[in-house]
Amino acid sequence: MSDLRELYQEVILDHNKRPRNCRKLDCATCEAKGHNPLCGDRITVYLRLENGRVEEVTFEGAGCAISMASASMMTQTLKGRTVEEARKVFEVFHDLVTGKGCPGGAAAELGKLAAFSGVSEFPARVKCATLAWHTFNAAADGQQTTVSSE
Ligand code: ZN
């Protein structure tokens, strides 16, 4: 467990304890549900898109600290960006948590999300860290089905 504890850096713990934008969005234009059966994480992402831009993004869910903190930080990162920009951020984030990215470059691009770099050492946790993002993509695509990380 000591390895996992190192993974749960302070910023992740803080977002897990006090998740930002964690509420249903009544004026959402799209929403999608995500499920990570390996860990039991469940999430619903709500989006309000206007002219391809993320005007609002919120989530509701229950799961491990990694999944909830990632969702919380995702909403802060993606609000105000275009869907296209959001997908690019996810690519960089995905490279970071799978250990493919250059850590320095990712840190500049991702800001606080760089706290998830430790996830790359725990492949099972990658699904936790990316669940909200896959669900965001599904919502932006207008998919109504539940995303499974499997
Ligand atoms: Zn999880």
pLDDT tens across 96-146, in order?
999 987 656 666 778 889 889 889 999 999 999 999 999 999 999 986 567
* Average pLDDT along the chain: 90
| pTM exceeds cut of 0.75 | yes
Range with the poorest average pLDDT among 13-27, 32-46, 50-64, 132-146: 132-146
Between helix 83-97 and helix 65-78 the angle, nearest 10°, is 150
Cα(first)–Cα(last) distance of the chain, in Å?
25
Q: Quick one: pLDDT band at residue 12, thresholds 50, 70, 90? A: very high
Q: Measure 54 CA to ligand 1 centroid, in angstroms.
A: 25
Centre of ligand 1 to C-alpha 59, Å, is 15
**Whether the predicted pLDDT of 2 surpasses 90:** no
Say how many Å lie between the CA of residue 130 and the centre of ligand 1. Answer: 10
For ligand 1, the distance from its centroid to the CA atom of residue 141, given in whole angstroms, is 24
